[in-house]
């Protein structure tokens, strides 16, 4: 059976850990969207891997890894990741497949992301400055796009880059008074990328369907979180791709109907990096407690993550749009030590009940949360090895979240390591 794992909040839910665990029982792991804005952490023994572009299954020596057409690939980051795995004795030759149709993030995308955010000042989105928005904009705009297949054709590429960089330089100079970038330098780098990456580039859609026909099990790894989805998230404070499970089909050419299991990952609370409304945010000592205990600092940018209570209104919405039937709840251990735990079970606005999570940011900024308050659990749970041994209050919390969202919690995270995971039927 094919499985899709996606984040149901604003990213960093712990997808990397779950994908690594499930990769053990799957043949192929596929990244279908986003780029190096993602930061997926996998902890194996004393080694911590922070993966941005390689699927989280790549640390398992037998899993085939696909970077599909929906991903925007920064070759510099990707080569760094391949090298760093090689240094740890993990090779990717013969098992990494990169789509020839995936678009390439180049220096001018990162420059544009930075220049625009700087110019926006207090109105900035708070992007990761990884060039994600500008690269997806070039993809949709078509005329100035570079795909992985273009890297393999240096003569055409040289000409294309001269045209693109000239165009970008004119815009950067006019809008931001910025120094010009050199097309020749970017071309030289591309030649090096091509030499090192061409062996991995192929038609990943054909590869995936061949493997499905051969009965292989595929795991689709979502990046970001469903509330950051460009169409269904809290626009404009979102990323530039369909980061919910709705992105799978366009992102890799495998339709949702061929996926039997949709697993949503949540944190036992909520976090968000970057700007935008956040109804359950705790801008106080409880938020700081969660940040410190849960090490809530961005994997990609190191920024402190904003923390808040679990928002069942938000998750109920992302469950609906994603066709999610079960949840993995990570970081339950982080809540240990709090006297009270709150779950947001409803919103009101202007005194009226809000039926569904509003992605419209003006409406979202106005909602008032209704909370269910539960007793906290004092004891640490990071060493608990089965569900029955969890404190009653922790079990009550899980039950209340499942009830508020309307689907079961089948996996529970009680620490970053593989073994700190409890599975339920
Ligand atoms: P992703 O982007 O969804 O893959 O999540 P990140 O890797 O950015 O952030 C999740 C962080 O939480 C990482 O540092 C993980 O090692 C850590 N983590 C994952 N699950 C748990 C858990 O159940 N408990 C604790 N304490 N840490 C966890
Ligand atoms: P993973 O896969 C958390 C956020 C950024 C910013 C917004 C737009 O690790 O869960 P972008 O650089 O994509 O244009 O930034 O989206 N963002 C993430 N937040 N986790 C992520 O990925 C994110 N990827 C992007 O902080 O608010
Ligand atoms: Mg992350």
Query: Residues 83-102: pLDDT tens digits?
Result: 999 999 999 999 999 999 99
Structure confidence at residue 188 as a pLDDT band (50, 70, 90):
very high
Outline which parts of the chain fall under CATH 3.90.170.10: 266-423
| Predicted pLDDT at 353 | 98
Q: How far is the CA of 37 from the centre of ligand 2 (A)?
A: 6
Percent over 70 (pLDDT), the chain: 100
| Cα 234 → chain centroid | 15
Mutation test residue for ligand 2: of 20, 67, 227, 239, the one with most atoms within 8 Å of CB: 239
**CA dihedral sign, ordered 44, 287, 398, 357:** negative
Q: Of the candidates 6, 77, 5, 88, which has an alpha carbon nearest to the alpha carbon of residue 48? A: 88
Q: Of the residues 21, 41, 266, which should be mutated to test ligand 1's pocket, given the most ligand atoms within 8 Å of the CB?
A: 41
**Residue 229 is encoded by which pair of tokens?**
């989805």
109 as an active site residue: the answer is no
CATH code assigned to 103-197: 1.10.300.10
Fold of 266-423: Adenylosuccinate Synthetase; Chain A, domain 3 (3.90.170)
Whole-number Å distance between alpha carbons of 185 and 194: 14
* C-beta 274 within 6 A of ligand 2: yes
pLDDT score, position 280: 98
Question: Which ligand 1 atom minimizes the distance to the CA of 41?
Answer: 7
Interval between CA 379 and ligand 2 midpoint (Å): 33
* Location of each CATH 3.40.440.10 domain in the chain: 3-99+201-262
Average per-residue pLDDT in the chain? 97
Question: Contact, 130 vs 38, CB < 8 A?
Answer: no
Ligand 1 in reach of 221 Cβ (< 6 A) = no
Of all ligands present, the nearest one to the C-alpha of 271 is 2
What would the mean pLDDT of 389-394 be, rounded to a whole number?
97
CB of 19 shorter than 6 A to ligand 2 = no
Place of tokens 């030289």: 188
Between the CA atoms of 326, 331, 335 and 336, what dihedral angle is there, to the nearest 10 degrees? 110
**Residue whose CA is at the smallest distance from ligand 1 atom 9:** 12
169 C-alpha to center of ligand 2: Å? Answer: 27
Which of 39, 35, 48 is CA-nearest to residue 15? 39
Cβ–ligand 2 distance for 273 under 6 Å, the answer: yes
Is it true that domain 3-99+201-262 has CATH number 3.40.440.10? yes
- Residue range(s) occupied by CATH 1.10.300.10 in the chain: 103-197
Q: What is the dihedral of CA 384, 386, 388, 393, to 10 degrees?
A: 40
- The pLDDT score that the predictor gives to residue 345 is 98
Q: Which residue has the tokens 């990096």?
A: 273
Ramachandran category for residue 253: left, alpha or beta (phi over 0 → left; psi -120 to 50 → alpha): left
421 in ligand 1 pocket by Cβ < 6 Å? Answer: no
105 CB within 6 A, ligand 2: no
How many angstroms separate the Cα of 222 from the Cα of each of 38, 200, 264?
10, 21, 10
Enter the tokens of residue 305.
């993550």
Interval between CA 14 and ligand 2 midpoint (Å): 14
Which pLDDT score, from 0 to 100, does residue 64 have? 97
List Cβ neighbours of 285 (8 Å cut-off, separation of 6 or more). Answer: none
Contacts of 184 (CB under 8 A, 6+ apart): none
Quick check: 425 pLDDT over 80? no
130 pLDDT tier (thresholds 50, 70, 90): very high
pLDDT over 90 percentage in the chain: 97
Structure tokens at 8: 């149901």
The residue contributing the CA closest to ligand 2 atom 3 is 11
50 lines ligand 1 (CB under 6 A): no
Q: Which atom of ligand 1 is nearest to the CA of 17?
A: 19
132 lines ligand 2 (CB under 6 A): yes
Residue from 54, 41, 38 nearest 91 by CA = 54
Q: Is 138 an annotated catalytic residue?
A: no
Q: Tell me which of 68-72, 131-135, 153-157, 200-204 is least confident.
A: 153-157
CB atoms within 10 A of CB 266: 29
Ligand 1 atom 26: residue of nearest CA: 415
Query: Do residues 40 and 15 touch, judged by C-beta distance below 8 A?
Result: yes
The count of C-alpha atoms lying within 13 angstroms of the C-alpha of 48, restricted to the half-sphere facing its C-beta, is: 6
The rounded Å distance from CA 41 to ligand 3 centre is: 7
Looking at residue 301, what is its pLDDT? 80
Tell me if 228 CB under 6 Å of ligand 2: yes
- The tens digit of pLDDT for each residue in 299-317 reads 778 889 999 999 999 999 9
Residue 84: what are its φ and ψ, rounded to 5°? -70, -35
Nearest Cα to 404, choosing from 384, 379, 424, 374? Answer: 374
Render pLDDT for 342-380 as a digit per residue (tens, 0 to 9): 999 999 999 999 999 999 999 999 999 999 999 999 999
**13 CA to centre of ligand 1 in angstroms:** 6
Rounded to an integer, what distance in angstroms lies between the CA atom of residue 159 and that of residue 83? 30
CA 264 – ligand 1 centroid, Å: 14
The pLDDT tens digits of the residues spanning 235-249 come to 999 999 999 999 999
């Amino acid at each position: 059976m094919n499985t899709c794992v996606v984040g149901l909040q604003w990213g960093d839910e712990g997808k990397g850990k779950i994908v690594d665990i499930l990769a053990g029982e799957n043949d192929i792991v596929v990244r279908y969207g986003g780029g190096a804005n993602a930061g997926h952490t996998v902890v194996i023994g004393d080694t911590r891997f922070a993966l941005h572009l390689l699927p989280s299954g790549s640390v398992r020596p037998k899993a085939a890894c696909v970077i599909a057409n929906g991903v925007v690939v920064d070759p510099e980051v990707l080569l760094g990741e391949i090298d760093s795995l090689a240094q740890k004795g993990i090779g990717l030759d013969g098992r990494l497949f990169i789509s020839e149709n995936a678009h390439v993030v180049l220096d001018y995308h990162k420059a544009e992301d930075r220049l625009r955010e700087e110019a926006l000042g207090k109105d900035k989105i708070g992007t990761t400055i990884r060039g994600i928005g500008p690269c997806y904009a070039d993809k949709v705009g078509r005329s100035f796009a570079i795909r992985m297949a273009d890297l393999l054709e240096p003569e055409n590429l040289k000409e294309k880059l001269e045209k693109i960089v000239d165009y970008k330089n004119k815009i950067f100079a006019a809008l931001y008074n910025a120094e010009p970038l050199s097309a020749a330098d970017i071309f030289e780098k591309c030649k090096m990328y091509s030499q090192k990456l061409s062996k991995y580039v192929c038609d990943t859609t054909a590869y995936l369907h061949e493997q499905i026909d051969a009965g292989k099990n595929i795991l689709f790894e979502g990046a970001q979180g469903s509330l950051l989805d460009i169409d269904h998230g809290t626009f404009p404070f979102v990323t530039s791709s369909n980061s919910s499970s709705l992105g799978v089909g366009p992102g890799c050419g495998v339709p949702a109907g061929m996926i039997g299991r949709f697993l949503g990952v949540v944190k036992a609370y909520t976090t968000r990096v970057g700007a935008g409304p956040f109804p359950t945010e705790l801008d106080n000592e409880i938020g700081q407690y969660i940040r410190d205990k849960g090490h809530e600092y961005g994997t990609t940018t190191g920024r402190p993550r904003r923390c808040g209570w679990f928002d069942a209104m938000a998750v109920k919405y992302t469950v609906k749009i994603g066709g999610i039937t079960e949840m993995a709840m990570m970081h339950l251990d982080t809540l240990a030590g709090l006297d009270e735990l709150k779950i947001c079970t409803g919103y009101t606005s202007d005194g009226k009940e809000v039926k569904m999570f509003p992605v419209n940011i003006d409406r979202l900024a106005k909602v008032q949360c209704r909370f269910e308050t539960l007793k906290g659990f004092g004891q640490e749970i990071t060493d608990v090895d089965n569900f029955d041994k969890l404190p009653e209050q922790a079990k009550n919390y899980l039950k209340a979240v499942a009830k508020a969202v309307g689907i079961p919690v089948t996996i529970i995270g009680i620490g970053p390591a593989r073994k700190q995971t409890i599975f339920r039927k």
